[in-house]
Each structure stands twice: as C-alpha cells, then as structure tokens.
Chain A
C-alpha cells in the first residue's frame, strides 16, 4: 500500500515563519456592520486549532475567507508565500488546490459515486475534458483507493453518495480533502450534523490524518468539550473578534463567559 506523498505535484513551501498568517481580516456584509473585525492570527505548521464561539460570530466567515469562498473586505491572508486575499482567477484556483475543506453538510455530489467524489479532489489539476470523461491518471486512482482505505470506506467505492449515512459521507468528504494533498485542512462545523459517537470518530480520523501529513488543521466547532479534547490550540471568537487564544487547559469558565455570554448553559 503506497503512502500518499505529502506534496505530490505541488511547489515546495516558500519561506515564512508561520504556515498561515491572517492579518487584519475584516468582512462587512452590509456597510458599517462588520462580521469580522480586524482579525489577526498566525497558525503554525502543525497542530489542531479549534475555533469556538456562538453562531453568527464570524467563525464560518473566517474559515471561508481563507480559501476565498467569501471575499474579505480588507486584510491579508499569507499562505505559502502568496497573499490569498489578493489572488484572482487561475492563481486563486492554484492556491485553493492546497487547501482542503470539510463541510458541515458534507457537500458531496449526491448523484455521483464515492469514487467520483474522492477523485473530484483532483479537479484543480485536470482539464474539463478529462473531468467529463472521468479520465484520471492511474496514480490518482491508486491514491484514491488507499485514501479510501485509510478513512475506512474502501468497500463503498461504487456506492452513490446519497446512499450513505452521515458519518460515512463525512469520511468520504475527508477523503476528498486529503486527495488534494493539502498543506492546510479547514473544517466548518464538521460534526454538527452527526451523532456524538460518530462525531468523535470523525474528529479522530481528521486529526490523525493531519498529524500523519504534518499539516495544520483549523476546525470550527460549537461543542466546547470536543474542542478541548482534540485541539492543541483554541481560539474563542465573540462579535467578530478573537477574545481567547490559548491551550485547551487554559480555557476556564471566565473565558467561556466572555465568549458565549450568559451563565445558564454551563453545567
């Protein structure tokens, strides 16, 4: 079984101190009402970073600004020697190839098979013709199989995505992200639609894979206990700003009150 190589087909990481450097990121959906207020944070080359905070506080916006699914109003995002906030067109697509993303509702192409969904992780590299004819290279296919084995879905390769359970879909979704040989893994509430036990399995899978590949992971999560269990670093957001930045053990009740407000929900 071949191990997926870490930077297959990609450029060597250029010199920066941090893996990901976000500077003064601001996003206003309507003028004068910023959802993200001048957020600055640096992510190291390894480790799991969990972002916690109430809904509507900009966690999702922050994650989506990184791979530009949402365009920031102001600010810089430095990644692999480029400023993602200023990239457009082909350059942006090339940059996206190295960022894998896992979504809350899996976002698989429902009518396609598991295999096709995993292979779509390589869409940034293949032409439209090859995508249409599903002509992926033998190396890609072999990699897809081994990644499927690693996420435990090898037996489902030809099943349609809509025939799977939630946990199974999320595994395929993770496989798709890994297929990109990413240098950074983003996850937007990956466990919010899953039951407690599956949530733990999925987070274990993600964090183990990321550790093997030695890439950083940023996870939006609203379950604080899960965040504390799996993360090396916790960012707490409130009102579009980062109000806590530290290790999970440092997170205490005072901090949670600042982040979430109110007391009744803490047991």
Chain B
C-alpha cells in the first residue's frame, strides 16, 4: 500500500486514501438514512433518555426478597444447561466421527453434515419456540432446544478437528500391530481431545447463557421468572435476577478455567 510519493526535490506528498474517504462518507449517508427509516428524532430520543433514567431508578436497589423464586428459576436453568450439554456431547461424538471426511465415505459425511448444519441454522430461541409448541411448556422444550444447538456446534468442530489430525501418527501406531480401538485411543484421541474439552466448556458456558433466555418463550428456567417480573413492572426484582444471572455466568467461567487447568 503506497502511502505517498517522493518527488525529486525531496518533498513528500501523502496520498489520499480514497477508499477510506468513500467508506466514511457512505457510512454517514447510511446512518442518515437509518435515522429517517427508524423514525428517530431528537424528541423521541430525549423522552427515551428520560424514561431510561426513571427506569434505572426503579431498578435500583435490586430486590432480593423473592429469592426462593429466583433460586428455583436459576436452578432449573442450570439443570437445562447441564443436561443439554451432556446430551449434546453424547450425540456429537458419533456425529462428529460420521461427518469426518477422512474417516467416512462421502454419502455418510454429507448426511451427517447436513444434519449438523440444520441444527445450527436457527437461533436457539426459535428452536425453543418450536419445541414449546410441539411438546408443551416447561424444561423439556428447553433441554431439547439447547441440545440441538449444542450438537450444531460441538459436532461441527469435532468433525473439523478429526479432519485435521496427522495421519503419520496413526500410521506409526498401526505399524506396532495395535488393534483398531487402540489405534483410535492412542493415535486419534490424544490429537483431538485437547480441543474437544475446549469445545465442551465453551458450549456449556453458551448453554448456561441461553438457558436463561429460553425461559422467555416458555421453555423453562429463569427466563420465565424474568419475563413475568417485567410484565408486572417489578423492575427491582428484574435487576436482582439480572445480577444473579451475571453472577452465575461468572462462576461458570471460573469453573471453566479450573477445568482447563486440570485437564491441561
């Protein structure tokens, strides 16, 4: 990228970066367009800010008096998150193997990959809504929805890490006369396991976050409690719930770090 030219007299004229200029201009034009499209005007914004400050006022101090309800909801969200991750891992292990192009014939991998892509196509909330409509309100829909989301993530990455393994290491293990299970255990597993535990912990974290949300559409967990509080304008309870959610997620990240240290 040329930043400028030198003339024979020894002066330097910096080159104008036309691309950047055009970029900034189009950005400004776009934002102006949006302002009209979204019906934004100054008054609305100010009244919004005013609303906002009132809102914040009602949210603080957070109200923890209904803590039993809070704990129940959190606990259910935790259950949903844990079970969904567990089931997701169970299903993803074989799915990942089936989808690995260096292990399986094309027709198998196409089917497996198709299923995995389908699992990832929709936002977990939408999947949750569909499950709620299908199997009714409650934690079952939440678990099913998050299991689908987990499979979409873990199986995909698992298949990719299997495809990236070095065949040379496997060749050597085969040459010692090892049985097929032993070849998988010593030749394949050490290569993929490090990354695999990473995926699982990431997905557990993601499921815990999402499990707080699927409740908003009736799939169980603290999301339902949150939504109800909102509807009743109990904003101080809302802030209590939000704080607990943040605390739980922080704790989850801490557990994550410990696990990473133990399993190297």
List residues of A whose CB falls within 8 A of some B CB: 67, 69, 93-101, 103, 105, 107-112, 116, 120-124, 126, 128, 131-132, 173, 176, 180
Q: Knowing that A120-B173, A124-B182 touch, tell me 20 more A-B residue pairs with CB under 8 angstroms.
A: A67-B175, A69-B174, A69-B175, A93-B177, A94-B177, A96-B176, A96-B177, A97-B177, A101-B175, A107-B171, A107-B172, A109-B186, A109-B191, A110-B169, A120-B176, A121-B176, A123-B177, A123-B178, A128-B185, A180-B176
Q: Give residues of chain B (149-183) contacting chain A, Cβ–Cβ below 8 Å.
A: 166, 168-169, 171-179, 181-183
Instruction: Give the distance to chain B from A113, nearest Cβ to Cβ, in Å.
Output: 10
B215 within 8 Å of A (CB atoms): no
Q: Is the CB of A109 within 8 A of B177?
A: no
Instruction: Give the distance to chain A from B190, nearest Cβ to Cβ, in Å.
Output: 4
CA of A107 to CA of B172, assembled, Å = 6
List residues of B whose CB falls within 8 A of some A CB: 166, 168-169, 171-179, 181-183, 185-187, 190-191, 193-194
CA of A124 to CA of B181, assembled, Å = 11
Contacts of B166 in A (CB 8 A): 110
Contacts of B193 in A (CB 8 A): 111
When A97-B176, A123-B177, A124-B176 are in contact, do A109 and B187 touch as well, CB less than 8 Å? yes
The 10 lowest CB-CB distance pairs between A and B, nearest first, are A124-B177, A96-B177, A107-B172, A123-B178, A128-B181, A97-B177, A101-B175, A111-B190, A93-B177, A107-B168
Q: Is the CB of A103 within 8 A of B168?
A: yes
Contacts of A69 in B (CB 8 A): 171, 174-175
Instruction: Give the distance to chain B from A170, nearest Cβ to Cβ, in Å.
Output: 12
Contacts of A100 in B (CB 8 A): 175-176
Q: Is the CB of B176 within 8 A of A176?
A: yes
CA of A121 to CA of B174, assembled, Å = 10
Instruction: Give the distance to chain A from B120, nearest Cβ to Cβ, in Å.
Output: 28
Q: Which of B174, B177, B178, B193 has the largest number of chain A CB atoms within 10 A?
A: B177
When A93-B177, A93-B178, A120-B178 are in contact, do A131 and B168 touch as well, CB less than 8 Å? no
Q: Is the CB of A96 within 8 A of B191?
A: no
